[in-house]
Chains A and B, each alone.
Chain A
Amino acid sequence: MISIKDVQKIFSSKNGQVKAVDDVNLEVKEGEIFGVIGYSGAGKSTLIRMLNGLELPTHGSVTVAGNEVSKIKGSKLRKARQEISMIFQHFNLLWSRTVRENIAFPLEIAGVSRQERLKRVDELIKLVGLEGREDAYPSQLSGGQKQRVGIARALANNPKVLLCDEATSALDPQTTDSILELLVDINERLGLTIVLITHEMHVIRKICHQVAVMEGGRIVEIGPVLDVFKNPKAVITKRFVQQVTEPEETKETIDHLVDLYPKGKVVQLGFVGESAEQPLITNLIRNFQVTVNILQGKISQTQNGSYGTLFIHVDGEAEEVAKAIEFIHSQQVGVEVISNA
């Protein structure tokens, strides 16, 4: 559905040239939710804007839904853009128009007749759950409602691809989740391909199938979300993965726990996919002469399986503890001994 080949984007400024996007290659399949994560300045914003021709690549080619967006111009580009919708961090609604009129705007652009517009707008309002707010102005809506209008507007012309430019970054966590659920729902119901950029790993974890990690204009890591969570390679990826698997205070807590349990070992277990559902702890206690104390744990759901970490304290005869850890290793569970207390 989307193919980016050898794309480079160089901005010239007074202080010389800046490579915003450097030698990027990627493919997005139809019906996939593809996430690009990176800190600000990583080039992800420039990358997503090249997908609908708001930016043109300096080198390379961008093809979306059969159109070479980086090449076409004028009315052909405008036509293509009706199939590649976009939603924005700050919603970018017209304040002078009501919800209904805002959603009708892309239909007016596409030349849809007034009657059909009204019908389509009503469908969309239902789809995004904004019944009863049709005649409100954007200033009367909450952030989440504004983004729902943005999504309805983006879906108006039945696009093939939806681009989300930090679509949840201006929303609170609860609203973020409801918008993400709406996106998954749309993806499943309409088979829409979604590309989103974000700096929150939470967003990737919750809805993406594939993820690309960007740093300094390059893609440093790419793959199915679960694989990346299971086995992050780049330093920056590890940091992003920690964002969702370990709460902020974990490190302090662990230090504290290590002090608290001078005997035995504190072990961090990483569960991925199937293994997250095995009765590992039960097996451990039944088969070995050790005591197991669960210190802290978290299991997260991703679009292609679950992923979790568990901190346990294992105590007993040194030999028995070593055997227990050996056993965990054999269970396809990531093991990391935090410290020998």
Chain B
Amino acid sequence: MLNEWFPNVKWDSMWEATMETLYMTAISVLATFILGAVLGLLLFLTSKGNIWENAGINKIISAFVNIFRSIPFIILIVLLIPFTKFLLGTMIGEDAALPALIIGAAPFYARMVEIGLREIDKGVIEAAKSMGAKTSTIIWKVLLPESMPALVSGITVTAIALVGYTAMAGVIGAGGLGNLAYLEGFQRSRSDVTLMATVIILIIVFIIQFIGDIITTKLDKR
């Protein structure tokens, strides 16, 4: 029945494209989580009234984050072509999409991390200080655990945005469902292929949201 409704879909290449999309998403989400958390922590800690208060560094990181957050992703990929070529020696394939995906998403996530950290009660940080905690202890045992629900719901939103970004990266040669939908579906006027690729992307997004919601609820003891 599926073959009747989707006569032009080659299931093995659809499966392959799905795996490529999942691969790009997984690696970029992982890297974005780490890089974004570091940037977000730096933004928070160097802001006014915090442990490493430093207006200069805060402004520099803030400017970096704002610039890369504002560039439309499709343009960012093109701008990063020389950088990607230098890094990986090629512009084709899933790995080639990763630098742009990470640089595009990490600043976005960094802001979410910063907002999450700002929601922590200042009194709790002060209490840790009054017990004689080092800054590293405050980061690992107070800031990160206390903001974890916000960090997880933030990475869920970012992961969903990244699925969309992989599709865009696909159009310019990175592979995955976006690539398939564009080349096999749109350019050859086989709309059933485009539709199937869309359905799979939607399923991926729903699963990510579902998992993210479960973890957030489980972590939140407030």
Which one of B1-9, B132-140, B180-188, B199-207 is at the interface?
A: B132-140
Q: Give the tally of cross-chain contacts (CB within 8 A).
A: 66
What are the residues of chain B within 8 A of A153 when measuring CB–CB? 131
Size bin of chain B's contact surface: 20 to 34
The reply on B127 being an interface residue by CB < 8 A is yes
A148 within 8 Å of B by Cβ?
no
Contact of B131 with A109 in the complex, beta carbons under 8 Å? yes
Q: Does A82 contact B (CB under 8 A)?
A: yes
Evaluate whether A105 and B221 lie within 8 angstroms (CB atoms) in the complex, with A94-B124, A95-B146 already known. no
Which residue in B121, B132, B142, B222 is a CB contact (below 8 Å) of A110? B132
Chain B, residues 156-196, CB within 8 Å of chain A (1/0): the string is 00000000000000000000000000000000000000000
Q: Does B148 contact A (CB under 8 A)?
A: yes
A287 to chain B, nearest CB (A): 60
Q: Is A268 engaged at the interface, CB distance under 8 Å to the other chain?
A: no
Given contacts A88-B127, A92-B123, A92-B126, contact A109 B132 (CB under 8 A): yes
A86 an interface residue at 8 Å Cβ cutoff? yes
A86 with B130: in contact, given A92-B123, A94-B124 (CB under 8 Å)?
yes
- In the complex the two chains form, is A96's CB within 8 Å of B132's CB? no
Write the chain A residue with the least CB distance to B134: A78
Asked if A231 is an interface residue, CB under 8 A from chain B, the answer is no
Measured between beta carbons, the chain B residues less than 8 angstroms from A96 are 145-146, 148, 219, 221
Interface size class of A (residues with CB under 8 A): 20 to 34
CB neighbours (8 Å) of B142 from chain A are 94
Q: Which B residues are in CB contact (< 8 Å) with A160?
A: none
Q: A109 contacts B133, CB within 8 Å?
A: yes
Per-residue interface assignment for chain A, residues 288 to 314, with 1 indicating a CB less than 8 Å from any chain B CB and 0 otherwise:
000000000000000000000000000
**Given A54-B130, A79-B132, A96-B148, residue A105 in contact with residue B222 (CB < 8 A):** no
Chain A: residues with CB nearer than 8 A to chain B?
Answer: 52, 54, 77-82, 84-86, 88, 90, 92-97, 105-106, 108-110, 137-139, 153, 157
- 8 A-B pairs in the complex with CB atoms less than 8 angstroms apart: A52-B130, A79-B132, A82-B132, A92-B123, A95-B146, A96-B221, A109-B131, A109-B134
Give the top 6 A-B pairs by smallest Cβ distance, nearest first. A81-B132, A92-B127, A78-B132, A92-B123, A137-B221, A106-B131
